[in-house]
Amino acid sequence: MSVENYIKENVSLIGDRVYIAPDIPEKKLNNAILSIAEGVNPQYVLAIVDSTLFGSAKEGIVLLGDKVFVKNTFEKSTIFNFSDISEAEYLCEEIIKDNGKVVKSEKVILKLNDGTKKEPSLSSVSINLKEFANFINGIINEGGEEKLFETTSQTLPLSDMDNEVKSAYIKIICNYAYSDDDVIDAKEYAEIISLIVRIDYNVKDRLSLRSYMCDKNSIEDSKSLIEYLSANVPNGCIDIVKKSLMKDIIYIYKLKSDIEQWKNDRFIIELQNELNINDEQIELIISVIKNDENILNERKNDSEIVKSMKDIGAKAGAVGVPLAAVYFSGSVIGMSAAGLTSGLATLGMGGLLGFSSMFTGIGVVALLGVGTYKGIKKVTGLSELENNKQRELMLQAIIKNSQKSLNYLIEDVNEISKQLTEEINKGMEATIKIKKLSKILEMMSNGAKETSSKINYAEEEAIIAKLPKYLDRTRLEELTNEPTKEKLRLFVLSYYIEKEITIENSDNMQEIKTVLELDDKQELNVLDQLYSALESIGYMNIKDATLASAKGVAKSFVKNFLN
């Protein structure tokens, strides 16, 4: 067992209020980082033990794979690297007071490799100190003589992983599609393409994957592919990857069979054993698939979506499946993980369901715990029109995913058409009709692709028209001053270029001004995420923007005054 897994499996023994990644509420994560583990990347936090009276998580313990942060009331935070610790010792002394009452005095002593001893300041009321000592010793034992302590991301989504990892993941799903009839049929092909789009698979590598999907003789052993995933996926994410893989395969099974009869499929049973997933967890995965489909098929409004997602969240926790696992590759209905998470955040559920620090890159918008459209504070009380807003947003996201899937399918048709033409031109006896049909097929494919290009252009221009051409950096920094929003700020800034422009001042004189100007030479999905990010933090909201700008200017004034 790795050190990180040991920590996540045993940390609940040392306190009553323990939060384990990826299910750490965003507010508690922010408070713990600001007060206990300042400067730590939220993605690497394994667990938080809250020792405060009212549950703010501003005191207690923050655990990473290579160190522990400890903070007690009115004291500064202390850091202990596991590689520096040789042993933890629990001491308990009984003190008899003048009135005869016996009081226990407990403490933990950390013996360091250099021979010194340290006593972490912990509340014996909120922390089980004896279990804490055992816990630290367990961590040291897991690290071994080599003292292998490392910290890895606990919430890195599939879309942000290496393309080789994505390839292995998709190939296992292709192997399943082949398993029943030796071919990947039209429905299976379309769903796999949809998955490829959702996880931002590199287009340049699609050529080899296309061959894999069209030639059963080229398939690789599923067990070897799983071993590759285990060796190359960040340790903190491997369990999530395995459950996500099972979800995507169960959905492929559903395309042609009754999902309740999954136990009749030999491939799924073998995969279940290989991935160490129990029946209850698979039933939870099936519930998630059904829930996702019902959101659209039953035309659920936002209130109903909230209720169903809360129910799913409760069930997931009961069987040991983080919702981050079943939405790791997005939703089976065609939404990316980032898109779905951002959508849940509009309903105030981003942090509640454990997605608060899941995404990096263009998916970083999911760090937010606020809405992406104006006016939503509570789902209850919304007009019927507003109460269907989330479904509308989901449909828009699905359309975008489907459109990109169509583009990929068109590319595949073009490639097959090209190969057909090459075979014909090799000198084999072929009729004029075949050549003519090949040309028509290629022409139709190119025509459809051209139409898609026009749609993409129009959508890009529509998004650009809504984005600020010049970015107010002060406002942005004030709106993103929490640890979990730091990467969001960097994400926004990465798409604005510093340049000098000439403006006319109040005296009608020209002057040079340095500004941050939008880099509009970006793909549609990037521009869309950029707009969602700015909208979500309140940058586009007049009230929030004005307040942030005023606070930013005031802070700058005070700083300059003090200096």
- What does the pLDDT look like over 88-98, one tens digit per residue? 999 998 888 77
Which amino acid makes up residue 34?
L
Residue 484 lies in a domain: yes
- Report the pLDDT value the prediction gives residue 112, as an integer from 0 to 100: 94
Q: Cα-flanking dihedrals φ and ψ of residue 44, to 5°?
A: -95, 0
Are 123 and 162 in the same domain? no
Residue 387 lies in a domain: no
Residue 442: give the domain boundaries.
Answer: 396-466
Q: Of 272, 297, 322, which residue sits at a domain end? A: 297
Are 132 and 105 in the same domain? yes
Residue 290 lies in a domain: yes
Between the two ends of the chain, the Cα-to-Cα distance in Å is 52
Total structural domains within the chain: 4
Alpha helices in 425-479 (DSSP H): 432-466, 473-479
Are 526 and 457 in the same domain? no
Separation CA 139–CA 135 (nearest Å): 6
Are 433 and 490 in the same domain? no
- Report the pLDDT value the prediction gives residue 306, as an integer from 0 to 100: 75
Are 461 and 477 in the same domain? no
Are 449 and 483 in the same domain? no
Are 83 and 191 in the same domain? no
Are 441 and 513 in the same domain? no
Ranges of the chain with pLDDT below 50: 345-385, 557-558, 561-562
Bridge pairing between strands 85-96 and 102-112: antiparallel
Question: Encoding tokens for residue 416?
Answer: 């097959």
Residue 44 lies in a domain: yes
Q: Of 262, 297, 332, which residue sits at a domain end? A: 297
Q: Of 441, 466, 491, which residue sits at a domain end? A: 466
- Report the pLDDT value the prediction gives residue 437, as an integer from 0 to 100: 57
Are 135 and 251 in the same domain? no
| Cβ-contact 148, 235 below 8 angstroms | no
Residue 341 lies in a domain: no
| C-alpha torsion angle, residues 296, 251, 282, 337 (rounded to 10) | -60
Are 420 and 488 in the same domain? no
- Report the pLDDT value the prediction gives residue 431, as an integer from 0 to 100: 65
Residue 304 lies in a domain: no
Residue 355 lies in a domain: no
Are 183 and 254 in the same domain? yes
Residue 334 lies in a domain: no
- Report the pLDDT value the prediction gives residue 333, as an integer from 0 to 100: 56
Are 11 and 138 in the same domain? yes
Is the whole-model pTM more than 0.85? no
